[in-house]
Structure 1
């Protein structure tokens, strides 16, 4: 397999290293395993639906809920809603219609979990274990959110297997990707005290990288920005 062309970097090695530290932290490093059901968390990233299709074909779950409405960052890309476009993409990759459920209202991660739980219950799916499929840098936050809102279920996280360089290339905006890494880490730090997620231990190396990137201006995806 040819090695993907690396994108040209416009940031220094130290800033890229800090971004890599946070990228690695956001990923749970769990091995996907068979689960009762899956949830594909809506976003701008169609790779979530591609990964869901791959994992379905691998026999890891019998049914997936694609969850997500629209947001200012996805409306132009997915005008009929994130979940609807995810569903269409998964069907185009061979996932059968009967294996796909759609939750078209969620506007945040908590709603992704809560509303998808309702959809699965209404469909008569008994869930003991759950495969959460997200963007690579959102694994830990989706895990922390699900553990808060659905604590009795066994959660496994998965995402498209990409390196940071390759993810930056797929998005096409280096600063935006790093801003998103920083923004998700801020949420991991702040959301537990707001009751949105369980607390996650943030190693000193990760927190130091976060503060350096904040000082460098990677802050467009912070809460309230």
Structure 2
């Protein structure tokens, strides 16, 4: 159980992370690896709607996924896409990336190595990491148009799908911290953070939702 205030703070971070981009046709869709197989489902849905002709799934494993996705996040995403009817010829796999910057850089290198021309990218992520993915891509791949996308879910629906409220809140706080500290480290572009979002982040930290925070010293 959490307080009404804690839920309100989580909702504020959730809303801020979503970019609310209108999906439009792009050169390629990149499904960013994570613990959430729903990212693969969202990528397939967009592919089947004609938003892109080619998918790149990118991701190795992490402490969160090494047990549930032992073959690597990208490979498990690929298997899910095949189950959902995507032809193997429409999927590329990048199995080495271990963070968002590597996801994007390594996917770009893979596409370049295949001689695939890219002018626009649809980044498909977890719903609470749209803004982080967008800010990272704008920094490391500024020459292409970036569209952020995710499964159209409310915070309550997402928590219910994972059955793990603490994990979701910890991840929300971690994603927000990276928006605050990564621009100074050159990993993403800087974005304005409303005072209300900053206050929500600080309150959630004080409530102990800190397991996904990066060390700052």
TM range (shorter): over 0.9
TM-score by length of 2: 0.98
Query: Is 1:86 the counterpart of 2:77 in the alignment?
Result: yes
Could you tell me which residue of structure 2 aligns to residue 98 of structure 1?
A: 89
TM-score by length of 1: 0.94
Could you tell me which residue of structure 1 aligns to residue 118 of structure 2?
A: 127
Could you tell me which residue of structure 1 aligns to residue 203 of structure 2?
A: 212
What is the CA distance between 1:175 and its match in structure 2? 1.5
Which of 165, 168, 174 is matched with 1:177 structurally? Answer: 168
Query: Is 1:157 the counterpart of 2:140 in the alignment?
Result: no
Which of 58, 61, 68 is matched with 2:49 structurally? Answer: 58
What is the CA distance between 1:124 and its match in structure 2? 1.8
Q: Deviations over 1:77-119 (max 9, x none)?
A: 1110000000010011011111100000001000000000011
Could you tell me which residue of structure 2 aligns to residue 6 of structure 1?
A: none
What is the CA distance between 1:169 and its match in structure 2? 1.1
What is the CA distance between 1:34 and its match in structure 2? 0.1
Could you tell me which residue of structure 2 aligns to residue 67 of structure 1?
A: 58
SS in structure 2 at match of 1:106 = coil
CA distance in structure 1 between the aligned counterparts of 2:208 and 2:62, rounded to whole angstroms: 24
What is the CA distance between 1:172 and its match in structure 2? 1.2
Which of 20, 25, 29 is matched with 2:11 structurally? Answer: 20
Q: Count matched residues.
A: 216
SS in structure 1 at match of 2:5 = helix
Where has structure 1 moved over 4 Å in runs of 4 or more?
none
Could you tell me which residue of structure 2 aligns to residue 137 of structure 1?
A: 128
CA distance in structure 2 between the aligned counterparts of 1:182 and 1:159, rounded to whole angstroms: 18
Which of 180, 192, 199 is matched with 1:189 structurally? Answer: 180
Q: Deviations over 1:19-73 (max 9, x none)?
A: 0000000000011110001110000000110011111110110101000001111
What is the CA distance between 1:224 and its match in structure 2? 3.1
Alignment gaps of 5+ in structure 2: none
CA distance in structure 1 between the aligned counterparts of 2:86 and 2:61, rounded to whole angstroms: 23
CA distance in structure 2 between the aligned counterparts of 1:215 and 1:13, rounded to whole angstroms: 15
Alignment gaps of 5+ in structure 1: 1-9
SS in structure 2 at match of 1:24 = helix
